[in-house]
Amino acid sequence: MTQAEKPTAPVELVLFDLLTALLDSWTVWNLAAGSEEAGRTWRMAYLELTYGCGAYRPYETLVEESAVSVGLGKDAALRLEEYWPQLRPWPEAIDVLTQLKQRYRLGVVTNCSQRLGLAAAQSAGVAFDVVVTSELAGFYKPDPRPYQLALDTVGVSADRAVFVAGSAYDLFGTAKVGLPTFWHNRVGLAAPAGAPRPVAEMGTLDGLLEKIGR
């Protein structure tokens, strides 16, 4: 199944990337970095390091290494943890999740440590049926194993689930497990070369319930 294809069976499970699709983690990174420009530079270095990592290395280590690589130093990583409790959902996210919860099981698959990932999931405002972190799966996205672990944990096949990505890098991993994917491209990122097409690309989560139901 290509990403542009829609599920052929009734959807039972909606999975989300957590830190970009549901939560505004960009603001927290910018605070820790000292400016939006520095935060964006650091975050992109972190994403490149994480998506190329494969097997799990401590999330906190990758955050620190990426901070050092762009000249922010180790203190920026410490500040990010300090500001972590300030993670907030995108403005429409709680309403959208509440609507989805009435019809579907919900879960997240996130590139994060177990400790910080579970804390961040609580910020989303709903109780998830499954939370898979890269630490739990033993691999970072877009390795297919974190997505597959979420499906296996809930007992739902890929053709009865959809994924909502915050980064187009997710599309590489979800394609390998046949998981139809919507891309919530909130901050206007460019898709990496060769990324599979999403079912749809959206600037907000508004209307997601209707898009999934079509």
- For residue range 96-147, list pLDDT tens digits in order: 999 999 999 999 999 999 999 999 999 998 999 999 999 999 999 999 999 9
Q: Which amino acid is at 177?
A: V
* 38, pLDDT greater than 90: yes
Q: What is the residue type of 11?
A: V
User: In the chain, what percentage of residues exceed pLDDT 90?
Assistant: 86
Domains of the chain: 13-23+87-213 (3.40.50.1000), 25-86 (no CATH)
CA 184/CA 198 separation, integer angstroms: 10
Mean pLDDT of 179-194: 92
More confident residue, 41 or 9: 41
Kindly tell me if the per-residue pLDDT of 148 is higher than 60: yes
Torsional class of 132: left (φ above 0), alpha (ψ -120 to 50), beta (otherwise): beta
Rounded distance between C-alpha atoms, residue 51 and residue 66, angstroms: 12
pLDDT at 8 over 80: no
The overall pTM is greater than 0.85: yes
Cβ neighbours for 145, distance < 8 A, ≥ 6 positions apart: 137, 138, 139
